[in-house]
Amino acid sequence: METPMTNAYCSLRIVILIASSACLASAQSQPSIATITGEIREPTSREITFGYESPSALEDFEQRVVLDSLNRFSFELPVVRGTLVRAYYNEVRSMFFVEPGDSLHVVVEEGFSDSSYSFSGIGADNNRFVVEWMAEFGHPRLDYEGLEAEDFKRQVDQQRRDQFEFLAARSKEYALSPGFVDYAIVHFNYEWANLMISYPTEYRFANGEDNSDLPPKYYDFLQEIPLVDEKAIGTMDYHTFLVRTLDWERREQIEQAFLFRSGSIGRPPRDRGELDKMSNPFRRPNLSEMYNLSDLELSEETVAQLDALYEKEGRGFKLSQMVDLSAVGLLSAAQVRLDSMYEKKRRPKLSQSFDLSVFGLSETDQARIDALFEKSKSYSFFTSSEVEEASVDTTGGSVAFYLPLEIKQDSLKKEPPKLSEKLNLSWLSEPARAQLDSMYEHPQRPNLSERIDLSSLGLSGAVQAQLDSMTTTTGPVTLEKWSSNSARYGQAKEKLEGRVLYWFLAGEVIGGFKRDSDAFELAQRMWEEFQENNPYPEYTKAVQAALYKALKLQPGQPAPEFTLYDLDGQPVSLSQFKGQVVLIDFWASWCAPCIGDLPDLRRIKRKAADKPLVFLNLSLDTDEAAWREAVDKHEIEGVHVRADGWGADVAKSYQVNSLPSYYLVDSQGLIVERLRILRNTDEIVATIEKSL
């Protein structure tokens, strides 16, 4: 059955097939210059900020342009394919479309709203369409509260049809370029697909629970649209669609593998051949994935043998390796018995790990939760602005905790249980139990050579010493960090191909460089592999440029200097706090996670009350009144300064592209660490003490 959308789509394809080869070649050529000139009549501001993607479609750039004495402006940017350019004037955003070689002229009669534009020059008709399209479709709003899947799909399907019909009608009125039509078709398709893949998450946020009535074939829509589409590189929704689709497939893979391995279903989730090709979603990282062994110059065979030996013997610590049992006066037989008990110890109960009273659970209810956890071996926490009060869901035998933003998971953590609470030590004397508990609070970390026989691999004493030093002084990549940062990268290598694959991988590496210190280490390892395999030099160049910038913000580098103004209008410079440790908190009044971190920040302040520590709160609010109101409303402590949004020099200097973002600066003005989240406040306070 043909639909209006199908007819419109097919007729447009006839037009663009003629030029598709040329467009594809253009997407791979060297960048050329596009120019946007214009004038603003009766301007109320002298500045316009233009935002645009780099030619590689891997980085966003902003450039401020000042009107001349005749209220005119001129802006040039390098492009290799058709792209949208954002223009911000008096906090109003408008969109322009340019292609290589375009020379677009814009006249703004009043204000900076879409209806006030007139266009001339190369690309004028494309932008007349953009203005009309933005007015018609540019600000869609979906209310997900109570929005069932069928009604949602009906709405987004209709919007997609309407956009194709709109394009078909306007293509008769305007001389749209083939490249623009290509861009529009790709954008409409991936905007729709992005909405579809995001619906379950949006529904959960709006309603505080998953949609249990999701149709069994809901995700069949993924068969309607290609995962790999070279023409989609650089369009607004394609990258987000890839991220969310790969993440969804990963979750499905984990769920199916879990069901298969736990015996919940009687057959493999996929055919045996495909299951064998799947990477194990439960696999823990190898030693060579947790630590950078490249400096040891080991052969691939030796690294593989080392990983195998570590997997067999080196993951767990014996109690006798962590605590000097002989200091307690225990004989060899007692030490062996303790090592055996420790190896077989059970995981702590949830009620031992978290304060469950915040959920209003009685002791009986807590015991029931502990029993469910013992059976399922898993639990999860969800934090959302849609959650009004803490609650627990045990549907299906799993344990899920729901928290409002003001309650952080870390605030519920109890002190780790004592050794005598983990093991039955009633056969030991009370003084011996107390001494063991005290020593266990500060366990030793055994050398790698104490856990596995490195000499069996033919490693020299010097290499063994390097391995010992590396694995005791350098923090390993935790399973959580390893999984979250490398899983999507690996999933992309399985599902994507060609230019799309390496464009996406380059974006993952660049993203890792911009996150916290642990993510940077992982990104460097991905970068080593990427360099060897990537056939597209422009992507290698883009990653190299991102790495160069990121290296300036690594531990030991001078923190970029800045001067901003506080609540009283007085200048505040980073350098004036030399001799003190500074925790720079990039935040904004509209950032819910920033507000959610305030309890952790207060906890750090309380624990480090006797230390020379400065909390420098750097807001990226463009609205000064909102900034001041948020400081008062949330009683945020510390020094307060404000920069004018994402485009501010300080935000660029510190590569802040998401909020909250934290930098710890030592007493000499050197960067200690970049943090994205405040999970372990005790660890952060310990780092602060070392930074004095």
pLDDT at 305: 85
CATH of domain 563-690: 3.40.30.10
Highest mean pLDDT among 295-304, 502-511, 645-654: 502-511
pLDDT digits over 525-538, tens only? 889 889 999 999 99
Task: Give the residue-averaged pLDDT of 513-531.
Answer: 82
pLDDT at 208: 72
Residue 601: phi, psi to the nearest 5?
-65, -40
Q: How many CB atoms lie within 10 A of CB 500?
A: 21
Cβ(604)–Cβ(611) below 8 Å: no
Tell whether the model's pLDDT for residue 397 goes beyond 80: no
Long-range contacts for 300-305 (Cβ within 8 Å, ≥24 apart)?
A: 302/457, 302/458, 302/459, 305/457
Q: Is the dihedral angle over the CA atoms 641, 642, 648, 652 positive or is it negative?
A: positive
Tell whether the model's pLDDT for residue 270 goes beyond 70: no
pLDDT at 580: 95
pLDDT at 302: 86
Between 504 and 302, whose confidence is greater? 504
Q: Residue 20 — pLDDT band, cuts 50, 70, 90?
A: very low
pLDDT at 483: 46
Task: Please report, rounded to a whole number, the percentage of residues in the chain having pLDDT higher than 90.
Answer: 36
The span from the CA of 522 to the CA of 487, in Å, is 12
pLDDT at 320: 85
Candidate from 163-167, 220-224, 239-243, 518-522 with smallest mean pLDDT = 518-522
pLDDT at 504: 95
pLDDT at 268: 35
Q: How many CB atoms lie within 10 A of CB 146?
A: 9
Q: Which two tokens stand for residue 349?
A: 């109960």
DSSP string over 600-657: HHHHHHHHTTTS-EEEEEEE--S-HHHHHHHHHHTT--SEEEE--STTSHHHHHTT--
Tell whether the model's pLDDT for residue 259 goes beyond 50: no
The span from the CA of 306 to the CA of 287, in Å, is 8
pLDDT digits over 25-37, tens only? 334 457 789 999 9
Taking the whole predicted model, whether its pTM rises above 0.85 is answered as no
What's the order of all strands across the beta sheet hosting 32-40?
72-79, 32-40, 103-108, 117-121
Question: Same CATH topology for 31-137 and 563-690?
Answer: no
Nearest to 55 by CA among 74, 36, 25, 77: 77
C-alpha separations of 276 from 207, 256, 319, 627 in Å: 38, 13, 37, 54
pLDDT at 110: 64
pLDDT at 27: 41
Task: Give the residue-averaged pLDDT of 510-532.
Answer: 84
C-alpha separations of 286 from 184, 465, 483 in Å: 45, 19, 12
Task: Indicate the residue type of 106.
Answer: V
Tell whether the model's pLDDT for residue 13 goes beyond 60: no
Between 380 and 402, whose confidence is greater? 402
| 3-class state of residue 434 by DSSP | helix
The span from the CA of 581 to the CA of 579, in Å, is 7
Q: For residues 587-615, b (16+ Cβ closer than 10 Å) or e, as one string?
A: bbbebeebbbbbbbbebbbebbeeeebeb
CATH of domain 31-137: 2.60.40
Q: Kindly list the domain boundaries of the chain, sorted by start residue.
A: 31-137, 287-317+448-473, 319-345+419-440, 350-412, 494-551, 563-690
The span from the CA of 404 to the CA of 18, in Å, is 55
Peptide linkage before 660 cis (omega within 30 of 0): yes
Between 476 and 62, whose confidence is greater? 62
